Amino acid sequence: MPSHQENASSDVSIKDLREIAANHGFTMSPEDEPGYLALTQAITESVDYVSQLPDYVDPGLTPDLGLDRGSARAYERPSPSENPLNAWMFRTNIQATKPTSALLAGKTIAIKDNACVAGVPLTLGTQPFHLLHGNGSGKRSPYPTPRLDAVVVTRALAAGAAVAGTATCENYCMSARSSTSATGPVHNPWLRGYDAGGSSSGSAALVAVAVVRRWRAARGLPPLPEGLEGLGEGADLALGADQGGSIRIPSSHCGVYGLKPTHGLVPYTGLASLHPLLDHAGPIAASVRDAALLLSALAGYDGLDDARMTPETPLRARVPQYHERLDAAIAERRGAGTWTRDGAARGLRVGVLREAFEIPGLEPDVEAVVRRAAARFAALGADTVRDVSVPAHAETAHCLFAAAAFGHMPETMVYGSAPPGLSFPYPFDNKSTSSSSSSDGETVAEGGAGVEAGTKKKPLTQSWYDTMTESNPLVPSVLLSGEYIRGDRGGRPPRYPAAVRDKALRHVHELRAAYDRALREHEVDVLVMPATLTVGVRHGANGGKMGVREKGDFVLVNSRNTEPFDLTGHPAFVLPVGWGRVDSGDGDAKLPVGMQIVARRWDEERLFLAAAAWEVGGWGLDEE
């Protein structure tokens, strides 16, 4: 390899190479050592050369930092009375100075706090001393602050949306419950003190604020009080991210609409990764049409994320305008006189996924509500409503999730390494693009590394372990199990050969083919099933006495019907279809139940049309 520096020298030594060789079980001959040293020196000199280059930022990622109401990317941490659900992390009012369309004009959007918003600290739902620039002491220390917007943030702003703030997410985005964030639990807007679902907990709760108010007003119920016992200000739309159900689970619990798109349809550039195989970003909205509208604004190839996007990903110019196509399909059916309670689903073929109703822990109320919702398609004139079986959904999907991803998760999730393949790790720097102070008066400072390469604290510390074990033991579990499976950075050999993960990936293709085959051979357009196994539970329902295993199971329990589609990449949409009783002795209290609809990859249009047709029979939250 040619050197880029005539006089460069490398500090690599024969001793270094001998140690590496010994760790791998071989010995270099003395006559070979000088040659290998020279080759290694040439390679390290090239890397040294790159390390000294000025950084490069794709010009298309430069954020619009124009003044808005006299402030350049100002943010603030809202007070408890302004943030009674604990769903906001930081409040902002960011708008593009020159939007390129009016697609989202007049709408506010909340951004999950794992996505970069230039000038606004990125917390990932964790304590600041867990991230780069922390001191590990437990004292307040600054969060890293991006200097670029995530691509989806750029696109939302370009479409005319106002970014109203960042939404609380769960600790390291690794929980299906809303109880692990460093700032405390996120409350369900329908019933304070109850789980809102995770990990996009704040995103779903904020969108649900208007839904709750509308529902109460329609029944003549008095508005909820302002302040700590109220709802606070919500958002029209929200961005979520989903690696195991993190858009769909909180959408189900909060009675809103959430889409995990086809893998690679929406860019993940500028969001913190759990694993590129699983990473999805998508919309959370208060209606089917708004979900379609936001997807229209976000979708399409960005030219930067080859780790997740594929040759099938449409170019921006070829992205369907999902909301327009939904409008056109409804208009056509109205014109034909079929957009009615006995004809809206005409032409639709629905498969009810048998194994999704056989998952241990499925609450009777949830099962009954979703079965009744599935049966409604027949009353709406669907051509087919039939049971469909995919045995692997229950038998192997959960195991594949661990075998395919967990061995590599520590690298992306804990250590913050950029994934294999070409991507664009985001830079952070100390040049302020914001003005803010924290609620305790201290300035929130900027950091200095990328969203994938620098937002995780290295090395890990005892305080990292202690606080994570208290709040979210799944994170240390990923580290321990992942490094046990794959081998750790200290040189511990892997428990399983790479061939086991290779086999898991082949079986992921088999699982994808199994769902495709069910859709094809049973001649159905969509599969329907419960989104979650339970409705939201009371925070601290177990009295805070759970051990590590119980805590881990508690925050994962609701993902068994959602995580398979993160593996296979099929689009999955959740809509509210009724109510289920809470299991906590709180009288007749009920919380929303969501139904998940799954379609062929790249067929989001079918999901939106199926959901809209179902609602011709009535809004799910009117089913009391």
Q: What pLDDT sits at residue 413?
A: 77
Look at residue 72 in the predicted model and tell me its pLDDT: 63
Supply the mean pLDDT for the chain: 88
3-state secondary structure of 472: coil
Judged against a pLDDT cut of 90, whether residue 365 lies above it is answered with yes
Query: What's the pLDDT band for 369 if we cut at 50, 70, 90?
Result: very high
Query: What pLDDT shows up at residue 488?
Result: 65
* HSE-CB for 29 with a 13 A CA cutoff: 2
Sign for the pseudo-dihedral over CA of 535, 540, 543, 545 = positive
pLDDT at 28 (0 to 100):
94
Residue 435 has a CB neighbour count (10 Å cut-off) of 13
Which of helix, strand or coil describes residue 355? helix
Residue linked to tokens 């994320």: 305
pLDDT at residue number 545: 67
What does the alpha-carbon distance between residue 330 and residue 347 come to, in Å, rounded to a whole number? Answer: 13
Q: Is 18 exposed, middle or buried (0-12, 13-18, 19+ CB in 10 A)?
A: middle
| Active site positions, annotated | 112, 199, 246
Q: In terms of pLDDT, which residue wins out, 247 or 457?
A: 247
At 446 the pLDDT is 26
Closest alpha carbon to 593 in 185, 175, 190, 84:
190
DSSP class of residue 578 equals E
d(CA 303, CA 595): 34
Q: What is the pLDDT of residues 94-121, one digit of tens each?
A: 999 999 999 999 999 999 999 999 999 9
Residue 453 has pLDDT above 80, yes or no: no
Q: Could you count the other beta carbons within 10 Å of the beta carbon of residue 372?
A: 14
Q: Which residue has the higher pLDDT, 4 or 619?
A: 619
Tell me: the pLDDT tens digits for 251-296?
999 999 999 999 999 999 999 998 899 999 999 999 999 999 999 9
* E strands present in 438-532: 526-530
CA–CA gap between residue 535 and residue 276 (Å, rounded): 29
Mean pLDDT of 340-364: 97
Question: What per-residue confidence (pLDDT) applies to 591?
Answer: 98
More confident site: 377 or 307: 377
In this structure, are residues 128 and 140 in contact, taking their beta carbons and an 8 Å threshold? yes
Burial 227-262 (b: 16+ CB within 10 A, else e): eeebbbbbbbbbbbbbbbbbbbbbbbbbbbbbbbbb
Please tell me the predicted confidence (pLDDT) of residue 550. 84
Tell whether the model's pLDDT for residue 84 goes beyond 60: yes
d(CA 196, CA 19): 51
Q: CA-CA distance, 87 to 563, in Å (whole number)?
A: 24
Taking the C-alpha atoms of residue 341 and residue 347, their distance in angstroms, rounded to an integer, is: 14
* pLDDT tens digits, one per residue of 184-229: 999 999 999 999 999 999 999 999 999 999 999 999 999 998 888 8
Question: Where residue 542 falls among pLDDT bands split at 50, 70, 90?
Answer: low
What pLDDT is stored for residue 460 in this prediction?
77
Beta bridge partners of 282: 240
Distance CA 222, CA 569 (A): 43
Radius of gyration of the chain (CA): 25
Residue 405 is predicted with a pLDDT of: 81
State the pLDDT confidence band at 462, using cuts at 50, 70 and 90.
confident
